[in-house]
Chain A
Amino acid sequence: MTDALRFCDLTLGYDRHPAVHHLDGAVPQGDLLAVCGPNGAGKSTLLKAIAGSIPPIGGSIERPAGAAGAIAYLPQAAEVDRSFPIDVFDMVSTGHWRKTGLFGGLSRADRGRIFDCLDAVGLSGLEDRLIGTLSGGQMQRMLFARILLQDAPVILLDEPFTALDANTTGDLIEIVARWHAEGRTVIAVLHDFELVRAHFPTALLLAREVVAWGPAADALSPENLARARRMVEAFDGGADECARAA
């Protein structure tokens, strides 16, 4: 099996403060990988780097499957301006961007695909609604519809189920499972370990560096979780001291 992504001694961070240290490893094509870890462990940073939004401080990310273009990315609480007067259909249609670019139009087939994707996330009939009138769950369903439309081989989801009810989470998990069955590589940042153990074959436990990476049940063992918590707390301890000194 070929690798969708390979990390070589990858170090990431902001303003010269590293958030992820010396990450080595590979994500095989078609993997369904959960990235877990305490707050501040560098999970979101890692996803942003894979998406190409932040350059590595050191090391590299190899993407043999293609350029960053082949990666669909759903950021944590996507920074959508919900007061903007745009309707659900138009919003989802931006998922065709790579096809249409700045000026291209939508063919009848493209429009059909948009309706199919809305149907798949359970938003049929809402295509004319303004995005500002959607509930939080409907909003996330809409963003999933856009990712469906993007049809990317690699999909990154940053806390996709946070603040969603069980019903919505269940529906969206089904979509994730479908992506997995279609052979796409899915990497999701998640906090709900039960959910990870139930639906994700592999997990990466991160605490600024790799604590464990492998089958989800092993990686998320109580010992590993305790170790991850201690590692991040140790780091924060330094920050506390600085704050007291100031």
Chain B
Amino acid sequence: MHDLLFSPFIEFGFMRRALAGGLALALSGAPVGVFLLLRRMALTGDAMAHAILPGAAIGYLVSGLSLGAMTIGGLAAGCIVAVGAGAVARATSLREDASLAAFYLISLALGVTIVSMRGSSLDLLHVLFGNVLALDDATLVLLASISSLTLLALALLYRPLVLETVDPGFLQNVSRAGAPVQLLFLAIVVMNLVAGFNALGTLLAVGLMMLPAACARLWASRLAGMFAVAVGVALASVYIGLIVSWHAGAPSGPMIILAAGCFYIVSVLFGRAGGIIRRMPARKHLEG
């Protein structure tokens, strides 16, 4: 049992790093995911994750697989797409979702092109799916910093962010915080996607945010409960994903997201706050 559950982390440094990095990501990504879910921005998160790619790819083009360059590039690209899509939505008849889709499709194609022209297909895989087993010290520090900063920022923005989500009109009436809070929240999302990008890659980074958040919605009916469930599911997914990938020889990043996926399926079936089985008696009652 001990061998099965703990020895990979005791014996191998890279497994410990992967665990530490993954837990840091889970800790901040899950609450961000809860807000994305409640603000009906689940797909926005996905789109933003793809939008980061060309920036990271240009960073890669300039200085190879360098953490700093790819992170700065990713942050810049994410912000440009977020602001650009918003500007197009305001200036034209296109809605925000349509302009965001256009921006992220262009970004994804551009990013894949840049990486493929310069690097190997292995590099491309790394960019698309990350490599949580290859986290170096600098990346770990980055993940931990982003995680801490995110939790601090969410704590400070909590009140206006909640009110901006549940009743934006009222917030506008009593305060000027609405627009800056929206922008800061987008910045937090981009920051966490860039962090997730380093470990899970551009295609899966959003998985550790949205899947735990979706589980949380199905178990908890209050906000505090949702945060607790989401963080718990995310942390457990990281551990389970790593341990399964180790024993099964499967890729780690996708296994982490698959573990979260299993939690999601269980939640859809059994969730106490809106799962399928929970809802069935109510229907019978109506028939009777």
Q: Mark B216-233, 1 if CB is under 8 A from A, else 0.
A: 000011110010000000
Please tell me if A24 contacts chain B, counting CB pairs below 8 Å. no
**For the complex, what is the distance from the CA of A103 to the CA of B222, rounded to whole Å?**
21
Please tell me if B125 contacts chain A, counting CB pairs below 8 Å. no
Please tell me if A91 contacts chain B, counting CB pairs below 8 Å. yes
Please tell me if A62 contacts chain B, counting CB pairs below 8 Å. no
| Among A4-12, A81-89, A111-119, A161-169, the stretch in contact with B | A81-89
- Please tell me if the beta carbons of A87 and B159 are within 8 angstroms of each other in the complex: no
Please tell me if A227 contacts chain B, counting CB pairs below 8 Å. no
Q: Mark A93-105, 1 if CB is under 8 A from B, else 0.
A: 0100110011100
Contacts A86-B162, A102-B159, A102-B177; A75 near B223 (Cβ below 8 A)? no
- Please tell me if the beta carbons of A102 and B160 are within 8 angstroms of each other in the complex: yes
- Please tell me if the beta carbons of A85 and B221 are within 8 angstroms of each other in the complex: yes
Q: Mark B162-178, 1 if CB is under 8 A from A, else 0.
A: 11011111101111010
Nearest-neighbour CB distance to chain B for A246, whole angstroms, equals 16
- Please tell me if the beta carbons of A98 and B174 are within 8 angstroms of each other in the complex: yes
- Please tell me if the beta carbons of B165 and A75 are within 8 angstroms of each other in the complex: no
Contacts A53-B172, A97-B174; A78 near B167 (Cβ below 8 A)? yes
Nearest-neighbour CB distance to chain A for B42, whole angstroms, equals 14
Please tell me if B80 contacts chain A, counting CB pairs below 8 Å. no
Residues of A within 8 A of B112 (CB): none
Please tell me if B65 contacts chain A, counting CB pairs below 8 Å. no
**For the complex, what is the distance from the CA of A241 to the CA of B8, rounded to whole Å?**
76
Cross-interface CB contact of B170 among A87, A94, A101, cutoff 8 Å: A94
Cβ-closest 7 pairs across A and B? A84-B166, A97-B174, A79-B169, A80-B167, A73-B173, A85-B223, A81-B166
What are 8 A-B interface contacts by the 8 Å CB criterion? A72-B173, A75-B169, A79-B167, A85-B221, A97-B175, A102-B160, A130-B221, A146-B170
